[in-house]
A and B are shown apart, each in its own frame.
Chain A
Amino acid sequence: MKDIREDIAWAKINKDVLHSLENPRKMFWVMLFVAIAMVGVGVACEAYQYITGMGVANMDNPHVWGLYIASFIFWIGMSHSGTLLSAILHLMHADWRKPIYRFAEAMTTFSLMTAGLFVFVHLGRAWQVYYAIPYPNERGIWPNFQSPLLWDAMAIFTYLSSSILFLYVGMIPDLAICRDNMNPGWRKKLYTALALGWEGTDRQWRNFRVTYLTIACFLIPLAVSVHSIVASDFAMSQQPGWHITSFPPYFVAGALYSGCAAIITLFIILRYVFRFEEYMTLPILKKIVRLTFAISMVWTYLNMIEMASVWYGHDPVAKDTLLERMYGPYAPFWWSMIFCGSIVPLIMAFKRFQTNIPIMFVVSLLLNLGMWLERWMIVSPTFAHGYYPWTWDHDQWPSFVQWGIVFGSFGWFTLLFMGFCKLFPSVSMYEVKEMVYHRSLATKAAAGKLEAAGKGAH
């Protein structure tokens, strides 16, 4: 199991990564078509719902939220891993993040973009959504800043724009590389424009370093705040099963969890598709898997904390709701959430599986399934079993419209991500170079070779 070579020629790095930007294979187009078809399904369902009314989603009067909100949280959560890898690990100088953080950040951006869609899908009058935007308007009415939903909007806007900027800034040196190596064409023009005339001068690098670090510092609290605000949509409400103080950390943990799982999935896919074995090496996979395992245990713990706090909270209603999840109509989903979220990750504890690609692939998918279920189990049971017994509903089952739109959202994400991978280097070239460079320096020093041998001649 070999890690990334220190003596790898930098030219090769450029060549390999740029290779991933070249004209795609047929499989790409097939995938792309599938993705577009999925989006089509979603769009069709949304159109139907938009015209006919939310009723076709088969929500009912006590039970006013459904899969849209659940998926919204899911996608928001997914976005957190990018920040984790690029920001947190960057501050920790964990150099193994370097080959993989780029696509993680892309994932962050795109899952945020997907989550954003669900806001519109969920609204009863999506065409009036601008009422929720705080701008001086002729109506003289401002949105209600007390509503956690508005905090959401604000937080997500901040997060989305910041992570786009972060992604872009981090990509500038690589864009310059693309510019330098592209034969003339629209792509070259594009990269030239985006590279902003970067030439890697000392001045540029100096400011670049500081900026990158600063934004990383901002992103960490931001990411945490984003998901704790999403959590407060529920924790700030009065409903049993939602009004729980442990929700914000619980949500954040869940977010990182699903994010890491998604990274593993994409890691494996990219590694295979772009033949990035050189860079996305097994030791790196092992590290993420271990990280994911750790987080999964944190999540499990918080899950238990929630139950414990409810249990000792002496609120019969909250208790009732909790039991309803375990034994009520939602029981099958709740238990499969526990299975996927807390049992499956145990596999990751075993060395021999940590680098077993097929198994990790399946596991990562299961984890994400579990995380999606978790979000659903947070939203729905409370409605089905709230404070007021008279209105408990018996048969709220999401209609094909809800399922269709959720399905479509995955297509949408895939679409964006595939586009990105073909347009921008999904592995950060300059940072891989830094990585191997510093490693080589380290080994040299260790070997005590004092004569400045430079780096492997070629």
Chain B
Amino acid sequence: MSQRHLLALFDNFDEAAAAVKELRTTSIKGFDSNKDMIMKSPIEHPEIEEVLGDKPVYVQFFTLGGALSGGLLAFFLIAGAQAVFFAQSKGGKPIVPFPPDFVLTYEMFILGGVYITILGFLICAGLPAKRSPLYSAKVSEDQIGILVKSDEGAINTLKAIFTKHKALEIQEEAGK
């Protein structure tokens, strides 16, 4: 049974929140509020996202991995380079001196951390992303949009809920 998308736009954030809450509480056949609902907003709303249920973030694990590998790589690369290739003997200093190598290790630690974090962000946030079927420039301006996907049957129920919560506009995916 084919599915369709709906996008409702709200300029009143509290209403939007209320709408989301209702969608999550009322069970509608052919619509899973965990999978089928995406909220789009011009700014981040921690308080509204709560009602979407807790969705974990994994970026920090990338950060950890990146930083550690960066640091280790640095130390062994540098110490290795100093020891394995033409040894550059410096009077008064050992061939593999710790203080300088630690400085560089520290820098690479950060470098790795930052790079891999960005990578993690792109992966976790699914960027670069395909544009979703329904979108309104309003959500990048001052309105919250709620994008839902459901079976034909549930469409009207959803519409009802949106209109009840003073949706300014409801976009509908052209039927197939």
Interface, chain A (partner B; CB < 8 A): 9-11, 14, 134, 140-142, 144-147, 150-151, 154-155, 157-158, 161-162, 165-166, 169, 172-173, 176-177, 180-181, 196-211, 214-215, 218-219, 221-222, 225, 229, 430-431, 433-434, 437, 452, 454-455
Question: Of the candidates A157, A208, A433, which one forms a contact with B142 in the assembled complex, judged by CB atoms under 8 Å apart?
Answer: A433
Name 6 extra pairs, CB < 8 A, besides A11-B141, A203-B124, A430-B42: A151-B104, A158-B111, A161-B114, A196-B122, A206-B125, A214-B117
- Contact: A154 with B104, CB < 8 Å? yes
- Give the interface size bracket for B toward A: 35 or more
- Contact: A202 with B38, CB < 8 Å? yes
- Contact: B93 with A199, CB < 8 Å? no
Interface, chain B (partner A; CB < 8 A): 11-15, 38-46, 49, 52, 55, 57, 59-60, 63, 77-78, 81-82, 85-86, 88, 90, 93, 97, 100-101, 103-104, 106-108, 110-111, 113-115, 117-118, 120-122, 124-132, 135, 137, 139-142, 147
- Contact: A151 with B113, CB < 8 Å? no
CA distance in complex: A200, B140 (Å): 7
- Contact: A165 with B12, CB < 8 Å? no
Query: Can you name 28 A-B pairs with beta carbons within 8 Å?
Result: A9-B142, A14-B141, A140-B85, A142-B88, A146-B97, A150-B104, A154-B107, A154-B108, A161-B114, A162-B114, A165-B115, A177-B140, A197-B127, A199-B129, A201-B38, A201-B40, A202-B49, A202-B52, A205-B49, A206-B49, A207-B121, A208-B44, A211-B117, A211-B118, A225-B103, A437-B43, A454-B13, A455-B12
Q: Which of A146, A172, A177, A197 has the most chain B CB atoms inside 10 A of its CB?
A: A146
- Contact: B127 with A204, CB < 8 Å? yes
Question: Of the candidates A154, A157, A177, A207, which one forms a contact with B141 in the assembled complex, judged by CB atoms under 8 Å apart?
Answer: A177
- Contact: A146 with B93, CB < 8 Å? yes
Q: Chain B nearest CB: distance from A380 CB in Å?
A: 26
- Contact: A434 with B82, CB < 8 Å? no
Q: Chain A nearest CB: distance from B176 CB in Å?
A: 23
- Contact: B81 with A145, CB < 8 Å? yes
- Contact: A207 with B41, CB < 8 Å? no
- Contact: A203 with B114, CB < 8 Å? no
Residues from chain A with Cβ under 8 Å of B110 in the complex = 158, 162, 218, 221-222, 225
Q: Select from chain B the residue with minimum beta-carbon distance to A431.
A: B43
Contact A215:B114 (CB < 8 A) given known A201-B38, A202-B49, A225-B106: yes
Q: Chain A nearest CB: distance from B4 CB in Å?
A: 19
The A interface is mostly helix, strand or loop, or mixed, namely helix
Residues from chain A with Cβ under 8 Å of B57 in the complex = 206-207, 210
Q: Chain B nearest CB: distance from A345 CB in Å?
A: 32
Question: Of the candidates A150, A154, A197, A211, which one forms a contact with B121 in the assembled complex, judged by CB atoms under 8 Å apart?
Answer: A211
- Contact: B126 with A203, CB < 8 Å? yes
CA distance in complex: A169, B40 (Å): 18
- Contact: B107 with A225, CB < 8 Å? yes
CA distance in complex: A94, B45 (Å): 18
CA distance in complex: A71, B52 (Å): 52
Q: Which of B97, B127, B128, B137 has the most chain A CB atoms inside 10 A of its CB?
A: B127
- Contact: B85 with A210, CB < 8 Å? no
CA distance in complex: A260, B46 (Å): 32
- Contact: B38 with A197, CB < 8 Å? no
Residues from chain A with Cβ under 8 Å of B90 in the complex = 144, 146
Residues from chain A with Cβ under 8 Å of B38 in the complex = 201-203
Q: Chain A nearest CB: distance from B123 CB in Å?
A: 9
- Contact: B39 with A208, CB < 8 Å? no
Q: Chain A nearest CB: distance from B140 CB in Å?
A: 5
- Contact: B81 with A144, CB < 8 Å? no
- Contact: B88 with A144, CB < 8 Å? yes
Contact A433:B127 (CB < 8 A) given known A173-B140, A215-B117: no
Residues from chain B with Cβ under 8 Å of A204 in the complex = 125-127, 129
Q: Which of A198, A207, A433 has the most chain B CB atoms inside 10 A of its CB?
A: A207
- Contact: B41 with A205, CB < 8 Å? yes
Contact A211:B111 (CB < 8 A) given known A169-B121, A197-B131, A198-B127: no
- Contact: A196 with B107, CB < 8 Å? no
Q: Select from chain B the residue with minimum beta-carbon distance to A14.
A: B141
- Contact: B139 with A199, CB < 8 Å? yes
Q: Which of B60, B97, B107 has the most chain A CB atoms inside 10 A of its CB?
A: B107
Q: Select from chain A the residue with minimum beta-carbon distance to B94.
A: A146
- Contact: B44 with A210, CB < 8 Å? no
Residues from chain A with Cβ under 8 Å of B93 in the complex = 146
- Contact: B42 with A200, CB < 8 Å? yes
CA distance in complex: A214, B59 (Å): 9
Residues from chain A with Cβ under 8 Å of B140 in the complex = 173, 176-177, 180-181, 199-200
Residues from chain B with Cβ under 8 Å of A206 in the complex = 44, 49, 55, 57, 125
